[in-house]
Each structure stands twice: as structure tokens, then as C-alpha cells.
Amino acid sequence: MTLKSKIVIANLLIFGLILAGVSAVVYHHVRGNELARVDARLDILADQVITEFSEEWTEEEVPEWDDILALFTGRFSEERFGLQAAGGQIILGDSTLTVPDSGTRQRIRAGEIIRGTTHIRSAAYRQLIRPVEVAGRVDFWLVLITPLADVHSRLDTLLLVLCLTVPAALLVGLIAVYLATRKSLAPMSRMVTIAEETSARHLDLRIPATSGDDEVSRLGQALNGMMERIEAAFTSQRQFVGDASHELRTPLTAIISELEFAARRIDDEKAKDSLDLALVELDRLGQLVDQLLTLARIDANRLVLEKQPVRLDELIVECVRLAERDARTRGITFSIQIAEAVEIPGDDRQLKSVLLNIIDNALKHSPRDSAVTIELKDNLAIGGAVITVADNGPGIDAADLPRIFDRFYRSSTARSSREGSGLGLAIAKELIDMHGGRIQLASTVGKGTTVSIQLPAH
């Protein structure tokens, strides 16, 4: 999950909880106000009923109740009442509105006013029970109820409004947070893109400067400073490698020439053997210097491909001819499979160096009396050609394959040999990449290795 998604989800959850809490508070506040209004209405009616009752009731004689009944017309036409004596008999009103609970009766006799909500035939009513004092004693109590249909209707409307506005507010909040987060994190997205594009050959990339002194701007400035220091270090290293390689080539050439001249003049066999061994090591050192110089030129973007039409079939034949002597010495034969002539645009000199390097590796790791197979065929999928070089050598461990094209990396099987420097495949990959192609290596321990080179037709 991306940082942007986490921020949006976190804000959405917090905003949703706040809206839910506010909605609950609003709903309960409005509900309380509505019930308070109903209770106030019942209190007014109860005061009037008790006043009329107190005026009419004398000497425990039942008076005329016309004035009390008149109260339940017009404004209070929906209310119902029941007036009950302490003995349990209904004096006036709805006979169903009684207080059968003895505990509640004791609370009323103690002067407590009881309010609550009751249900009669599935309909909700607000109920008020008031003690009625006559001559200082609570001998009666009044039960008043009023329907809550209108209150519930208003509360349902409020609940519907809240259910519609809360998701709408969440949606608006989600869009606002998303847009704000995207705008805030856009510089970081550009940083990620530039960081992904940055490599040893593209250290000049920089994060676009942003105004302000916020954390993102300061991060961009810090990363730019770090990349400048890394570029300076890489530039210094490349300069050193290039200069050292260049400076070593001339003395190495002179030393090799002098040793070859000396070897021709010396008759002592032991001395000749020593000179031959020195020449072999100097040749390896010379190859290493050439490879380092090539990599330095590639890293500095100073190696320019001189592209022209290249006949890959002819190039393979020429490379095999150059490697034939080494193959005979090792007791290895070539199996060349070329279906037809294939021509692509490329630098024939660089492609030759790649192919010779791959063939040389195959010869080094192939057992005596085996064959190295070289195949050329059209690649219809990419509109180019594929060259494969396969040997029957010991193969490469699966753990070594991911790093096989790294510079100076040598597989466990190659480390047992003094041949090679670990730069050949790295250079081959760089050159094939410059041609817009791909180089892949597949290997099975005990069966051999196959190198595949894909080259585009344009």
C-alpha cells in the first residue's frame, strides 16, 4: 500500500469517526429537545388538570368533571389521561391508564414525578405520572400520555438527512484529502522516478527545485546534494580508472615487446619458460587494462557506436575462425547452425568483441572432446536476430545467475580458474544494451550454459 493510500485512508477513518460522533450528538440533542418539549406540554396540561381537580374535589364527593374534560379538546385533543385514587379505583379518564406496580405507587406517594416512554398497541407514547395532593396528602395520581408519532417522524427525517449528508461529506472529504495529498506528495513521486532512473551512467539527474521550506522541499535539496556528491565521487573514480588504464597500456606494451625480444634471444629453456609465463600474465593484465578502459569510456558516455549494416552470419564465421586455434588446443569443436543470412544495423567491431568474449568463455568451461554450438536465427517477435552460444561445461549455480553480469563477479566454478577477470560479461551486457538488444544466460549445473543475444533489426 502506498503512502498516499495510507494517508487518505487514515484521514477518511478519522473524518468518518468525527462525523459519526457529531451526528450521534446532534441526533441525541435534538431527540432530547423534542422530548423536553413534549414533557413541558404534559406539565402544562397536568398543572391545569390538577388545579381543576383540586377546585372540584371536596369532602371526598365526586364533582362534575366538565371543566377537566374540556381541557382535552382543541390544543390537547391528542392527549389521554387517567385519574386514579390511592385505593386503585379510576375516578376519571381512561381506565387503562393505571399504575399497577406497587413500587411505582410508593414512589408517587413519596412525591416523585415519573416520566418515560411507553407503548400501547405498538404505538409509542410519552407518559407523565404526577402525584395529586389533597389536604396535604397524596391520595390520587394523574397519568397523562401523548403520542410520539410526530416526534418520531421528525427524528426519522433528521436521521435520513444525517445518513445522506455524512456519506456525502465523507466523499467530499475523501476527494479533498486525495487532491491535497497528491499535490503534497507529487514532489516525492518525482523523487522516486528520478531515483529509479538514476544509475552509474545517469548521475546527472536532479530533482526539480521546489519553493518553500517544508519537509518535502528540504528532502529534495538533501537528495540533490547527495547525488552531486555521488556524481563527483563516480566522476573521480572514472577519471582515475580511465587515466590509470591509459597510462598502463604504453608501459605494458613496451614490457611485452622487450620480453618477447628477450625470449627470442635466450637459449636457456628454463629462462624461456619463465619469460613465456611472464608474457601470459602480462597478456592477461593487458586484457584487464583494455577492459577497464572500455568500461571507463562506457561510463563516461565516450564510447560511440559506429553503426552500419552488419552481416551476423559472416561475423559468426569470422569469430569462429579466430577462436579455432584455441578450440583445437583444448580439443573442442564448433557446431555452427545458420539457417540464412541475417543483416542488422550495428557496430561490427563491438559486436565482434562481444561474440568473441562469449565464445572464449564457452571454450574455457567446456570439457575436452565436446562441442560448442553457435546458432543464428531470425526473431520474428522483435523483428531482429538471436545468437545463442551453448556449451557442455559444468554449468553455473542458480545462486550465481542473478549477479553473473555484475562487474568483477565470478561464479563459484569460474573462481577455481585463473582465467578471466569478471569483466567480460559486464562489458558484453553494456554493449548489447547500447545496441538496444538483450543478453540472457541460462545454465544447469552439470549440463552446461547457454548465452542468448537478441539484437533488433533497427
Q: In angstroms, what CA-CA distances link 183 with 188, 194, 216?
A: 10, 18, 11
pLDDT > 80? residue 263: no
Tens digit of pLDDT for each residue in 161-194? 999 999 999 899 889 888 888 887 777 777 777 7
Report d(CA 34, CA 147) in Å as an integer: 12
Q: Which of 453, 435, 442, 434 is nearest to 404 (CA)?
A: 442
Q: Sorting pLDDT into bands at 50, 70 and 90, what band is 419?
A: low
At residue 135, does pLDDT exceed 60? Answer: yes
Q: Above pLDDT 70, what percent of the chain?
A: 86
* Model confidence band, residue 240 (pLDDT cutoffs 50, 70, 90): low
As to burial, measured by CB atoms within 10 angstroms (0-12 exposed, 13-18 middle, 19+ buried), residue 152 is middle
Residues in the chain: 458
CA distance 32 to 15: 25
Entry pTM: 0.53
Query: Average pLDDT in the 224-235 region?
Result: 77
C-alpha cell at 368: 575436452
Would you state the pLDDT for residue 380?
Answer: 62
SS3 at position 385: strand
How sure is the predictor about 319, in pLDDT bands with cuts at 50, 70 and 90?
Answer: very high
Which residues fall within 8 angstroms of residue 170, CB to CB, at 6 or more apart? Answer: 12, 15, 16, 19
Say if residues 163 and 5 touch (Cβ distance below 8 Å).
no
Burial class (CB in 10 A: 0-12, 13-18, 19+), 142: buried
Q: Distance between alpha carbon 225 and the CA centroid of its chain, in Å?
A: 27
Q: Would you place residue 238 in the very low, low, confident or very high pLDDT band (cuts 50, 70, 90)?
A: low
User: Residue 196 pLDDT more than 80?
Assistant: no
pLDDT at 315: 92
Cα–Cα distance between 360 and 424 in angstroms, integer?
A: 10
Q: Edge-to-edge strands of the sheet including 371-379?
A: 333-338, 371-379, 384-390, 448-455, 438-444
- As given in the structure block, the three cell numbers for residue 162 are 444525517
Q: What does the pLDDT read at residue 199?
A: 66
**CA–CA distance, 7 with 5 (Å, rounded to integer):** 5
Q: Does position 74 have pLDDT exceeding 90, yes or no?
A: no
* Greatest mean pLDDT among 35-44, 231-240, 288-297: 35-44
What does residue 220 show for φ and ψ, rounded to 5 degrees?
Answer: -60, -40
Q: CA 416, CA 393: separation in Å to the nearest integer?
A: 14
Tell me how far apart the terminal alpha carbons of the chain are, to the nearest angstrom: 40
CA distance 192 to 141: 79
pLDDT at residue number 373: 92
Confidence of residue 421 (pLDDT cuts 50, 70, 90): low
Highest averaged pLDDT of the listed ranges 157-171, 202-216, 376-390: 157-171
Q: Choose between 354 and 206: higher pLDDT.
A: 354
Q: Distance (Å, rounded) from C-alpha 270 to C-alpha 42?
A: 128
Average pLDDT (113-121) is: 87
HEC states along 68-134? HHHCCCHHHCCCEEEEEECCCCEEEECCCCCCCCHHHHHHHHCCCCEEEEEEECCEEEEEEEEEEEE
For residue 279, name the pLDDT band (cuts at 50, 70, 90).
confident
Half-sphere exposure of 304 (CA within 13 A, CB side): 2
Residue 264 has pLDDT above 60, yes or no: yes
Per-residue exposure over 443-458, b if at least 16 CB sit within 10 Å of its own CB, e if not? beeeebbbbbbbbbee
Phi/psi for 452 (5° steps) reads -115, 130
What distance in Å separates the CA atoms of residue 423 and residue 408, rounded to the nearest whole number?
A: 5
Average pLDDT over the chain, rounded to whole? 81
Amino acid identity for residue 288 in this structure: L
Domains and CATH numbers, the chain: 3-154 (3.30.450.20), 215-299 (1.10.287.130), 308-455 (3.30.565.10)
Residue 355, pLDDT above cutoff 90: yes
Q: Give the pLDDT band (50/70/90) at residue 17.
A: very high
**Do residues 354 and 311 lie in contact, with contact meaning Cβ atoms separated by under 8 Å?**
no
Q: How far apart are CA 356 and CA 359, in angstroms?
A: 5
* Region of poorest pLDDT, from 12-16, 56-60, 152-156, 350-354: 56-60
| 94-97, Cβ contacts within 8 angstroms, sequence gap of 24 or more | 96/120, 97/143, 97/145
Rounded CA gap, 15 and 8, in Å?
A: 10
Q: Quick one: pLDDT at residue 334?
A: 92
Give the pLDDT band of residue 202 (cuts 50, 70, 90): low
The pLDDT score that the predictor gives to residue 156 is 92
What span, in angstroms and rounded, lies between the C-alpha atoms of 386 and 115? Answer: 92
- Tens of pLDDT along 423-440? 888 888 988 998 889 999
Question: C-alpha angle 427/443/354, rounded to 5°?
Answer: 25
**Strand order through the sheet with 114-120:** 90-93, 80-85, 137-147, 123-134, 114-120
Summarize pLDDT for 284-305 with one digit per residue, the tens.
Answer: 777 777 777 777 777 777 778 8
Lowest mean pLDDT among 89-93, 162-166, 403-407: 89-93
Closest CA to 299 of 426, 194, 191: 426
Nearest residue to 327 via CA among 362, 276, 375 = 362
Return the residue matching grid coordinates 545496441. Answer: 435
**Which amino acid type is present at position 50?**
I
- Mean pLDDT, to the nearest integer, of 147-154? 90
The neighbouring-strand residues paired with 82 are 93, 143
